[in-house]
């Protein structure tokens, strides 16, 4: 899905930060206050994750956060259930308190309740959704619950907000997230049918940007010109050696234009489809465009080969970061 930044957090440090001095360790659900920190563990992508089973892959679940939201996820030693993932906003602490939580996919609400002390679990406000493939998703510690049992929800629909509710534990705000099989067993979480990168980066925080975006009534991609230039066309690439791998993303497969300049009126060089991989050489500000990932003036110069490139609006390019990922293009 997205290039991720993985940051090591020790279980002991997490426990002290969350509970304060003098509070005994949590024996079961030890949810993390995930922070961006200093140690980088390389790039982790959902696109290179483990292959998914057909039943779960069919549901095409997305991150349970609003379109474009930056989050970090963590799968760590001692967490219960073992395959659950804790998600935080990038600021750590309670900085994500009230952050929007949305349905990872379409389905029917099967649980919406507060787990009290009698339940002997620490989920607090929690929601469960059954999806058409038979997979269930579970969202816990919510500040509030905006859907009830029996409600039909669409992918990306607001169901609550990040909280820190629990009748059993005290910790910083975060979302406890599970994916469950039809039998109720907690399984590895899949997004876009691929295993989440958290499982290959145990005890590290992995950064994401949510692409749980609504489908648009009209295709906002810049319309390609009727007659594209020959494949040899394109701008001469600047002398920059590094390349940033990224993926073109659209909701309905509409083409995304690669142009001679950072504006929709520039000559068309070629078009990309959703899922096409690109290599970003540099970035520059140009015409403002609204696309799948919001509104931006940022354009990416992508490598076409043979020393040539073309500009693609960043609003259709999934890089795994909310900001710049490549150097400025020379004027």
Annotation: CATH topology of 4-209: Glucose Permease (Domain IIA) (2.70.70)
pLDDT digits (tens, 9 = 90+) for 213-249: 977 644 445 444 444 445 457 999 999 999 999 999 8
- What is the overall mean pLDDT for the chain? 80
pLDDT(291) > 70: yes
Alpha carbon 13 to its chain centroid, in Å, reads 26
What pLDDT does residue 92 have?
Answer: 73
**Which tokens sit at 25?**
């360790």
> Which sign does the torsion angle of CA 110, 116, 119, 122 carry?
positive
Question: What DSSP string describes 76-145?
Answer: -TT-SSTT-EEEE-TT-TTTTTT-EEE-SSSEEEEEEEE--GGGT----EEEEEE-TTS-EEEEEEEEEE
Using DSSP's 3-state secondary structure scheme, residue 315 falls into helix
The answer to whether domain 4-209 and domain 235-318 are alike in fold is no
Task: Count Cβ atoms below 10 Å from residue 93 Cβ, excluding itself.
Answer: 15
CATH of 235-318, one of 1.10.10.10, 1.20.1740.10, 2.30.31.70, 2.30.30.40: 2.30.30.40
pLDDT(22) > 50: no
Scan for tokens 């002991």, then name that residue. 12
Q: What would you report as the CA-atom Rg of the chain, rounded to the nearest whole angstrom?
A: 21
pLDDT(10) > 80: no
Rounded Cα gap, residues 36 and 98, in angstroms: 19
Asked if 104 and 189 count as a contact pair (C-beta separation under 8 A), the reply is no
pLDDT(40) > 90: no
pLDDT(45) > 90: no
**Which tokens sit at 296?**
């931006």
Rounded Cα gap, residues 210 and 269, in angstroms: 29
The domains of the chain are located at: 4-209, 235-318
Using DSSP's 3-state secondary structure scheme, residue 187 falls into strand
pLDDT digits (tens, 9 = 90+) for 59-110: 589 999 999 999 999 998 889 999 999 999 877 778 889 999 999 999 999 9
Rounded Cα gap, residues 321 and 208, in angstroms: 7
């Amino acid at each position: 899905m997205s290039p991720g930044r993985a940051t090591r957090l020790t279980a002991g440090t997490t426990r002290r930060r969350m509970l304060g001095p003098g509070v005994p360790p949590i024996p079961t659900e030890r949810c993390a206050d995930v922070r961006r920190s200093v140690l980088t563990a390389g790039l982790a992508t959902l696109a290179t994750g483990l292959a998914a089973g057909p039943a779960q892959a069919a549901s095409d679940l997305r991150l349970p956060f609003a379109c474009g939201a930056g989050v970090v996820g963590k799968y760590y030693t001692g967490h219960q259930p073992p395959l659950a993932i804790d998600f935080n906003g990038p600021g750590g602490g309670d900085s994500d308190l009230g952050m929007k939580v949305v349905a990872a996919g379409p389905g029917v609400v099967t649980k919406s309740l507060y787990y009290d002390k009698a339940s002997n679990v620490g989920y607090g406000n929690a929601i469960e959704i059954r999806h058409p493939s038979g997979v269930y998703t579970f969202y816990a510690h919510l500040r509030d619950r905006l859907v009830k049992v029996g409600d039909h929800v669409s992918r990306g629909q607001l169901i609550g907000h990040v909280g820190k509710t629990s009748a059993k534990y005290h910790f910083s705000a975060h979302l406890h997230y599970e994916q469950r099989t039809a039998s109720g067993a907690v399984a590895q979480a899949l997004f876009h049918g691929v295993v989440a990168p958290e499982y290959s980066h145990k005890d590290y925080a992995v950064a994401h940007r949510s692409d749980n975006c609504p489908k648009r009534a009209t295709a906002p991609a810049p319309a390609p010109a009727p007659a594209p230039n020959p494949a040899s066309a394109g701008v001469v690439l600047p002398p920059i050696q590094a390349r940033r791998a990224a993926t073109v993303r659209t909701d309905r497969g509409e083409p995304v234009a690669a142009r001679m300049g950072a504006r929709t009126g520039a000559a068309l060089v070629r078009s990309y489809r959703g899922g096409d991989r690109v290599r970003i050489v540099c970035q520059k500000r140009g015409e403002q465009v609204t696309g799948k990932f919001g509104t931006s003036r940022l354009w990416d110069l992508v490598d076409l080969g043979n020393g040539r490139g073309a500009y693609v609006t960043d609003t259709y390019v999934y890089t795994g970061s909310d900001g710049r990922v490549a150097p400025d293009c020379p004027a």
